Structure 1
C-alpha cells in the first residue's frame, strides 16, 4: 500500500481566516461545529477526527503513555502545510507528529528530553523491510545472554531474560547509544523490542502484566503473578519481534526521500533548529503532575541502557510553574517558526476538568509574537484509555482533545 495515499496532500490554507472558516463549517462526521466565546477565548467544538481505534497508518502502533492519535497532527498538517514543509514537535514522545509528517511528505522534526523518544521515533522515519529484519535477527548469538538482574524474573521466564540480555549485547555493538551513525535495521529491532517488553498478551516478552504503555514495578508484577497463580512463560524473542514488525509495516513505511531532524533536550532550548525554519508545530506537553514518565518507562530504559534518573524530566505541580514552562516553550517556537507559521498546542482534561489548561496556554502566549486564533475541542464519544481502565466515557480519563491555535506574527 502507498502510505502517502492514506492522507490528503492539501495546499496550506492561504490565511488563518480561511482555516477558521473551514473548522467553523466542519461537518465531516455529521456534526455542525459549535462556536462560543468564553472569557475572551473563542472555542470551536466538534468531532474533527475519528474516535475509532487503529484508523491511522499501521506504523503508528507503538505504545506510549499519554500520546495523542495520529489523526490529530494529520488534521493540521493537511490543512496548514504543503509537501516539503517542516513539521516539528518539541515534546515528541513516541514520535506521532514527526512520523505522520514523514508519511505525508513533510520534513519530520522532533525533540524530547528523554533519549528513549529518539529510539522510538528514528527507526520509523527510515525505509525498512521484513526480510532485512529477519536476516539481522539470524546474526544474534543468543547463547551470549546471562541474567544480570534476578528481579526481572518477575516479568520474564529465565530463558526469555537470557535472550533479551543477548539481544542487548548485540544492539550495543550494532546501534550504540549516542552514536551518530547506527545500523538502521538494528535500530528498528531495538524499537520493536522496547515496545514488547511487558504487556497483557502472548505478543509480549513478559508474562501477563499491565497494558504496554507503562511498566509496573517489580513488586507490583510479583503481586500480579501471585494473584493469577502463574509464572512468566517462555517467549520466542525473535518471533515476537518479527510478528510486531509485520504489523507495523503492513501499510508500508516512511518514504526514503523525507528529511528528518531529531533532537534530545529541553523543549524550550532546541539550539539545533535555526531561526524561522519551521512551518508548523504540533505538540502536547506533560500535563501538570499526572504522568510519571520515569516510573512508567523504567523497564524500557533498562533495556535501552538509559539511566532514568539522569533524564531531567520536569514535574510541574502548580499551575504557575506549568504556565511558566509553557511560556518558555512558546518563546522558543516563536524563534524557530517562520512568519505566518502555526502552533497547534494540545492539552487534555486534568483533575476532572477543574483545571482548563488551554486557558493557561492562552495566558502564556499573551505577550509573545503570536496571533491567538482560538481553541479547538475535539469531542469524542469513546476513548480507549478510559475503556481499558474500566472507566465510563465522560466520567474520568481524557475524553476531549483541546488544542490552542496560534499563528506566528
Structure 2
C-alpha cells in the first residue's frame, strides 16, 4: 500500500521570522523542511507533540513548533544538536551581539597555538585568533547566548570566500585538509584578510531582521544517544507522531565530514573517522540493525507515544536499509499497519555534488498507523 500526504486545505503561510529561522544550519543530506511541515500538518493537531529520535539539525522540531505543536528529539552529533537548540530557542539579538563584542575583545590578546598547515591556509591570522578565542571561551553546552553565537560561527565557519570566515571552501561539508591545501597552493590562493566580528554582525542582523520565531510551542532537544536517552524527552510528550529519518547504512560519516566544525567545538585539529559508538558511517549491517532496534523499541516500550500515535519514517530505498527498517518497525510496533511510498530523487543529490555520480534509488516513506 502507498502513502500519500494529503494536500493542505490552504497554502501554508508562516511568519517571516519563523521562515528565516527554520532552515538555519547547513547540513549534509538534510531532512526536507517542506516534507516535515506537510507530515506534521496531516498527522497532528495544534497542541499535540512530535518526537524525532534521530533529530539531526532539528528540522522536525522547528517545523513542529512553527505549527504550534510541542516537540522533542535526540541527536548524538553536537553540531546538529547545536543548530536544533538554537533555531528553536535562540538568545536575543542584543545579547548575542554583546557576547560577540566580548569575544572580539578576548581575541585581541589571544595567542594561537601551533596548528596544522591547513589552518594557516584556511583562515587569515585575525580570523584564526577570533576562532581560537571563541573556541576557548564560549560555553555552548550550558549558556543560551554562547550556544546561539557559536551556531552563527559554525554556519559560516567555512564556505564561499566572500561570505564565510574561511578561504574558498564548501559550506555544507568539510573537505580533507591535504586536498584543500593542495587546491589553494595550486591557485596561490592565500586567505584574504577578514574581520570576523563584522562578518558575523551582518549575519546576525540579517537573521534577526524580522525578530524571533513566532510560536508558543516548546521544543526539547537532547544531546545524547537515541538508543539510551529517548526517556529524557518524556516531559514533552506523550507524542502523537514519531517523525524521523535514521542515518542510512554506509552513506554518510557526520563525524569525518564535519571535522572543521567539530574542531570549533573542541575536537581534534584533524579529521577522525569516529568519535564513539554510532558516530561513523554505519557500515556494519549488524550494528546498524541494532541501532534501529534499540531506538524504535525504546520509543514503543517506554510509554512515550499515545495509543493512536502514528510513526512516519523516511529511509533509504536500497535493499538492506529499507528491508531492515521495515522489519524493525513491524517488530517494534506490531499492532500498527505499515504503508509505504517510494520517493525517487527528482534532482541531483548532495552526494552527486561531491563526486558520487551513481544513480540513487531514492527514498521510501514508511507510515505505521493504528
Regarding TM over 0.5, the answer is yes
Q: Deviations over 1:223-270 (max 9, x none)?
A: 121232211112221222233334444565334632222212222222
User: What corresponds to 2:15 in structure 1?
Assistant: none
**Correspondence 1:235 to 2:194:** yes
Specify which of 218, 224, 227 is matched with residue 177 of structure 2: 218
TM alignment of 1:260-271, pairs within 5 A: 260-269=219-228, 270-271=230-231
Q: Helix, strand or coil for the counterpart of 2:127? A: helix
Q: Helix, strand or coil for the counterpart of 2:216? A: coil
**Correspondence 1:302 to 2:272:** no
Distance 2:63 2:127 in 1: 34
User: Structure 1: 5+ residue runs without aligned partners?
Assistant: 1-16, 29-48, 50-55
Task: Tell me if the contact between 2:29 and 2:350 (Cα under 8 Å) persists in the aligned partners.
Answer: no
Q: Helix, strand or coil for the counterpart of 1:272? A: helix
**Correspondence 1:158 to 2:122:** no
Number of equivalent positions: 348
User: What corresponds to 1:57 in structure 2?
Assistant: 19
User: Structure 2: 5+ residue runs without aligned partners?
Assistant: 13-17
Q: Helix, strand or coil for the counterpart of 1:230? A: coil
Q: Helix, strand or coil for the counterpart of 1:273? A: helix
User: What corresponds to 1:9 in structure 2?
Assistant: none
User: What corresponds to 2:83 in structure 1?
Assistant: 120
Aligned-residue Cα RMSD (Å) equals 3.0
Specify which of 334, 357, 360 is matched with residue 300 of structure 2: 334
User: What corresponds to 1:40 in structure 2?
Assistant: none
Deviation at 1:78, TM superposition (A): 0.6
Deviation at 1:101, TM superposition (A): 1.3
User: What corresponds to 2:341 in structure 1?
Assistant: 376
User: What corresponds to 1:259 in structure 2?
Assistant: 218
Task: Tell me if the contact between 1:127 and 1:256 (Cα under 8 Å) persists in the aligned partners.
Answer: no
Specify which of 207, 216, 232 is matched with residue 272 of structure 1: 232
Deviation at 1:310, TM superposition (A): 4.2
Q: Deviations over 1:20-74 (max 9, x none)?
A: 6xx287699xxxxxxxxxxxxxxxxxxxx9xxxxxx9232131112222211211
Task: Tell me if the contact between 1:358 and 1:403 (Cα under 8 Å) persists in the aligned partners.
Answer: no
Task: Tell me if the contact between 1:126 and 1:255 (Cα under 8 Å) persists in the aligned partners.
Answer: no
Distance 1:114 1:212 in 2: 17
- TM-score, length basis structure 1: 0.76
Distance 2:192 2:56 in 1: 31
User: What corresponds to 1:36 in structure 2?
Assistant: none
Specify which of 173, 195, 199 is matched with residue 155 of structure 2: 195
Alpha-carbon distance change, 127 to 192 in structure 1, aligned in 2, over 3 angstroms: closer
Q: Which stretches of structure 1, 4 residues or longer, exceed 6 Å deviation after superposition?
A: none
Deviation at 1:168, TM superposition (A): 2.5
Deviation at 1:318, TM superposition (A): 4.2
Task: Tell me if the contact between 1:145 and 1:167 (Cα under 8 Å) persists in the aligned partners.
Answer: no
